[in-house]
């Protein structure tokens, strides 16, 4: 049987239109979770996703190996994805421990750690040998500030130094305080001396003797004699301790004795030291007393109903006064 060839001509048609690309796989960390609800992940990095494209999370966290399928095509802000499964199988069993490796090189020294808690106090050690006496340090008293409370070198309450105050105190001790040798047992006319209590007692005894003698020469029935302790009438604001302070009344004559009276905190100038009720002087009477600093101080006894004893020109600071004077009463 004979074979016959037929020429059919060109049966290849024209090229068709390009079809849609197939599904693509993307890798990254922009799509996460296990939600099967279509969700937009604008940070996926996929600029033109098509349906059935896939995205695998390649991170190191819980989403590692998870696969997501595109259900709505579009740009990253439009495309939607759903969780489709995972490429990771279950965790395998732990392998056997390998051999211990060789010791590595020593690393650099680390930073010093924080100080630890203080340990318990140890036992007391033996007493050491006494060290040599060091050289004397410089005199720093002139560098130490102090308040001049008594006004020794300036105004009371002003600022000074310890050295200046020491110097002032030394001067008062050496030159201004009443020395024991200046207290004598006789009443003498010497501004640098002070009568002792024994001398004052002797004067008082002599006054008592004179009073007795006078009593023999006057009509005692007309002479009222009395004695009052005037310590109770001191001005407590400036008068401290007192001794042998009294008023003796002989008719209209009053003899006032101030054995000793310590004046404290008095203001400079005139100060009333006693106010004796009911013994008013007939006239304002000038009086004089001595001070423990060796000075003599004048004053007055005055008053309409009472006798006020005022001492003038007093200094500030502690001062003992003593003396005796006579006043004619009303």
Q: What is the pLDDT of residues 21-61, one digit of tens each?
A: 888 999 999 999 999 999 999 999 999 899 999 999 999 88
Does any domain span residue 256?
yes
Q: Please say which residue of 176, 202, 230 terminates a domain.
A: 176
Residues 209 and 312 placed together within one structural domain of the fold:
yes
Q: Does residue 91 lie within any of the structural domains? A: no
Instruction: Kindly list the distances between the CA atom of residue 123 and the CA atoms of 129, 130, 209, 239, in Å, as whole numbers in the listed order.
Output: 18, 21, 80, 59
| Residue 19 forms part of a structural domain | no
Give the torsion through C-alpha atoms of 12, 13, 17, 19, to 10 deg. -50
List pLDDT tens digits, range 220-252. 555 568 999 999 999 998 999 999 999 999 999
**Helix (H, G, I), strand (E, B), or coil: what is residue 167?**
helix
For residue 122, being part of any structural domain is answered with no
Percentage, residues of the chain above pLDDT 90: 43
In terms of average pLDDT, the best of 14-28, 82-96, 245-259 is 245-259
Within a domain: 39? yes
Residue 108 domain flag: no
Please check whether residues 148 and 214 belong to one and the same domain: no
Q: For 117-121, 160-164, 205-209, which range has the lowest pLDDT when averaged over its residues?
A: 205-209
Asked whether residue 236 falls in the same domain as residue 168, the answer is no
The pLDDT value given to residue 151: 79
Number of domains in the chain: 3
Query: Which residues face 67 on adjacent strands?
Result: 56, 85
Q: Is residue 98, in this structure, part of any structural domain at all?
A: no
> Do 202 and 289 belong together in one domain?
yes
What is the signed CA dihedral for 59, 60, 61, 62, rounded to 10 degrees? Answer: 80
- Mean pLDDT for 142-148 is 83
Residue 10 within a domain = no
Same domain, 251 and 165: no
- For the entire predicted model, the pTM comes to 0.36
Helix segments in the chain, DSSP class H? 162-171, 197-217
Residue 137 pLDDT > 60: no
**Residues 154, 65: one domain?**
no
Q: Which residue range forms the structural domain that includes residue 30?
A: 25-86
Edge to edge, the sheet with strand 296-302 lists 225-229, 239-250, 253-263, 319-328, 285-291, 296-302, 306-314, 269-277
The pLDDT score that the predictor gives to residue 173 is 63
């Amino acid at each position: 049987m004979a074979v016959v060839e037929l020429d059919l001509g060109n049966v290849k048609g024209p090229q068709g239109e390009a079809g849609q690309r197939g599904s693509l796989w993307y890798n990254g960390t922009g799509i996460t979770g296990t939600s099967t609800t279509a969700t937009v992940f604008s940070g996926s990095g996929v600029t033109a996703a098509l349906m059935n494209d896939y995205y695998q999370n390649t991170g190191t966290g819980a989403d590692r190996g998870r696969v997501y399928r595109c259900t709505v095509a579009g740009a990253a802000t439009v495309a939607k994805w759903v969780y489709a499964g995972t490429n990771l199988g279950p965790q395998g069993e732990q392998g056997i421990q390998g051999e211990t490796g060789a010791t590595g090189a020593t690393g650099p020294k680390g930073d010093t750690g924080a100080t630890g808690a203080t340990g318990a106090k140890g036992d007391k050690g033996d007493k050491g040998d006494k060290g040599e006496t060091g050289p004397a340090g410089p005199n720093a008293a002139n560098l130490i500030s102090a308040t001049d409370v008594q006004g020794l070198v300036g105004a009371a309450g002003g600022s000074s130094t310890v050295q200046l105050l020491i110097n002032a105190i030394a001067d008062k001790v050496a030159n201004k305080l009443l020395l024991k040798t200046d207290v004598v047992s006789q009443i003498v006319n010497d501004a640098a001396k002070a009568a002792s209590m024994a001398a004052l007692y002797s004067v008082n005894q002599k006054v008592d003797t004179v009073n007795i003698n006078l009593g023999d020469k006057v009509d005692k029935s007309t002479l009222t004699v009395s004695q009052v302790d005037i310590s109770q009438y001191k001005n407590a604001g400036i008068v401290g301790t007192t001794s042998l302070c009294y008023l003796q009344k002989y008719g209209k004559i009053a003899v006032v004795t101030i054995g000793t009276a310590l004046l404290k905190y008095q203001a400079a100038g005139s100060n009333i030291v006693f106010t004796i009720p009911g013994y008013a002087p007939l006239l304002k009477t000038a009086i004089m007393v001595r001070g423990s600093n060796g000075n003599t101080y004048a004053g007055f006894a005055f008053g309409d109903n009472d006798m006020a004893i005022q001492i003038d020109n007093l200094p500030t600071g502690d001062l003992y006064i003593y003396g005796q004077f006579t006043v004619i009463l009303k």
